Chain A
Amino acid sequence: MKLKGLGKRCKRREDLEIRFILIQNRAGKTRLAKWYMQFDDDEKQKLIEEVHAVVTVRDAKHTNFVEVLAISVADSLSVLQFRNFKIIYRRYAGLYFCICVDVNDNNLAYLEAIHNFVEVLNEYFHNVCELDLVFNFYKVYTVVDEMFLAGEIRETSQTKVLKQLLMLQSLE
């Protein structure tokens, strides 16, 4: 798989764990995009399209991991390819939850981090559905920031996250 948008950033790679988190529906509409690296708008759009193309063709017989060959122009003469990134994703009903991490990161830990996040959303929105994410997009960002920050896992306890979200909900 080649994600060209990502490759351009190889040189400015900052040794982050998570590059971005994307929630997309089957039609490719973005329901959440959280970027932990500086991408410009065109690059973001390209990545969104490419991730969609990559994950939607996969089925249950496939792994939940997609390695990414990003093309990076390392110097003016040669085009080099790196196996630097991977997309860890899981599908829930019509939504794909995707996390892009370093190729050496722990696949299963991030796969379950996705599930942990989804369970929190499910509790918070009481049986979450796609429309909850649309109408409350600004709240989803808060949930993300509670659980992931600076490309790292911040908090994993569902109880603690939900308690904090409930407290914030009570504020005006």
Chain B
Amino acid sequence: MMVVLELFLLSEACLEARSLAVAMGDTVVEPAPLKPTSEPTPGPSGNNGGSLLSVITEGVGELSVIDPEVAQKACQEVLEKVKLLHGGVAISSRGTPLELVNGDGVDSEIRCLDDPPSQIREEEDEMGATVASGTAKGARRRRQNNSAKQSWLLRLFESKLFDISMAISYLYNSKEPGVQAYIGNRLFCFRNEDVDFYLPQLLNMYIHMDEDVGDAIKPYIVHRCRQSINFSLQCALLLGAYSSDMHISTQRHSRGTKLRKLILSDELKPAHRKRELPSLSPAPDTGLSPSKRTHQRSKSDATASISLSSNLKRTASNPKVENEDEPVRLAPEREFIKSLMAIGKRLATLPTKEQKTQRLISELSLLNHKLPARVWLPTAAFDHHVVRVPHTQAVVLNSKDKAPYLIYVEVLECENFDTTNVPARIPENRIRSTRSVENLPECGITHEQRAGSFSTVPNYDNDDEAWSVDDIGELQVELPEVHTNSCDNISQFSVDSITSQESKEPVFIAAGDIRRRLSEQLAHTPTAFKRDPEDPSAVALKEPWQEKVRRIREGSPYGHLPNWRLLSVIVKCGDDLRQELLAFQVLKQLQSIWEQERVPLWIKPYKILVISADSGMIEPVVNAVSIHQVKKQSQLSLLDYFLQEHGSYTTEAFLSAQRNFVQSCAGYCLVCYLLQVKDRHNGNILLDAEGHIIHIDFGFILSSSPRNLGFETSAFKLTTEFVDVMGGLDGDMFNYYKMLMLQGLIAARKHMDKVVQIVEIMQQGSQLPCFHGSSTIRNLKERFHMSMTEEQLQLLVEQMVDGSMRSITTKLYDGFQYLTNGIM
């Protein structure tokens, strides 16, 4: 991420050509090389062109490293080429390919360096070098004609405004290999996260567009793959998924397939990456402590002549011992994903939800045996290792013929996935055994407490110590002395009965109090959903996330570790998530546009991992249940449910929930309109704990709609129920809603290109139903109504809202869904 970018300009005696070398720097910055760049700056700089020459450093502190040897070799190759060109036509193309030929006018902006070799840093990728030699000639040929135009282009490219979105757009639209190559290099200087967003676009271009684009992109991809295992995985998966629409014969030899193979073959494993010695590893005390403990334990337990460790060595080969030279670095993760998918496939064959749930739980418990392992959840935002799947928490989601399911995954956060050791396994009951009945100090309420002040009792207040695993003594397994000890264990029962007989003061309680406490405590959790075997996910999703985390943490043998985190993921098998990914990107783009334009619209893009053309994972929206579930469980109208959950009309909580509802509703209405999201029944609309609605399932967008029945002709779904929550048609909130929509549309229109571009590039080579027909992009652009005035737009919004309100088809579609799928 932190990249040192250096642009070197090589100039020759004849000014005919200048080559701009973009050298990428996952460089070890040594103090020395800085000098030449800063020293000769004096001349014409001072203008912005300086940025081209000077060192652009982002986050100097942390530098990823390329093998110096490789780099040096690459440099030498490049130098040779330079020399060659020196002698010849005097075009020098250094390693990185872009040659910009500037008219004399721009001359001043270009720094001439007389001594190119001294400038060369060790940063070159051999990839870059080869690409360079390939494009150099072509670029030169064209350069004369376009020099003027390109000089302006160069200015643009150098300007601060040039962002990743523009880069992608030029990469896609430009037919100039030179430009493409330049942008290919320029990619290196964007922030990794920014580029990551466009990864599907980059890879789709790589697969489906011509060679020049591919050549421009490849070095960057390869470079990033070397850096990050997660990036490698994403690339490999996306390459596979986006290649799948090609004809099978061409697919096999396509570039995408080749690059995929390269990534999977592990050749891109960073050469420098030597697994650090365990002693040096940064966080050994958290991850490894359990193993230490186990060891101690067995040692202390081993009485006299028995040494357990030697015994176990002979039994099953201990899978927890990590292989130092594991075969392929992506292998464990792919295996992990594969087994999750296999579970999904097997679940799909079972007829009832109940059977599915049971099977899921048992399958996951088997999976648990193989964890912890060097695997991670690609949807997470931080480096971690998966240590456990709390299998009993997993639920099967509602789907008619497929079996998507939601799992929770316990992970241990780590600084660096590659270098941190995989945490040691802690047996399931390790934590629990400490809290077993006999070890607990009597944690229930003693009778004094009971008799005295007895407000609502929190779960466990002061018995934290009893729950911690630190007490090794407690952990020790009962040795046979137990038999001798247990006699000391005088019958509690009899002792107590005796004391009670001669007891001091008898304690009295009122029966009414007991009854009252019972109803009070039950009243505390009124909003929990009831368990329904036909809809097992409702209960699981309704439980507040924080509460769930706490609960699972308590029950987990890893829960005591400070870097323990809980993640969740929906595994979808048999569904194509490429459209979902596209929708995610559009939503994300709209979100940032609205943020930039300060329109308070609220949407919640959720992360998508495309695994193949028919499988993937989704990051679930936490604290949200579908409106269908809300209505079925509560048997209330949406407004009444809001009142129940958040309080009466005038309360702060209700008002803020209502505002959230309006803001999210407006946001999603625009999304639904722009993307033509269909299949909007209440099972596909979630409601979160703060009142936001969240649309999910973007299976039907743009040019596709379910079974093309022609239902849902309205612009978006707006039922009277929704309007009721907003306070009715005449309310302020409803006007606010319309106003938000207008502002949102204006803002989106302003940045239409950014949105359209995402869709347009993905259309390349795609067979996805959302691109069906030839007018997808044109229609999409038309929905932004570029030609309208703001007044006209306002009218349009009014019309759309009116139309949707009155839309008979929405109601019809809901009725249809109720009849066919039982969705309320």
To the question of whether A and B form a pair in one complex, the answer is no
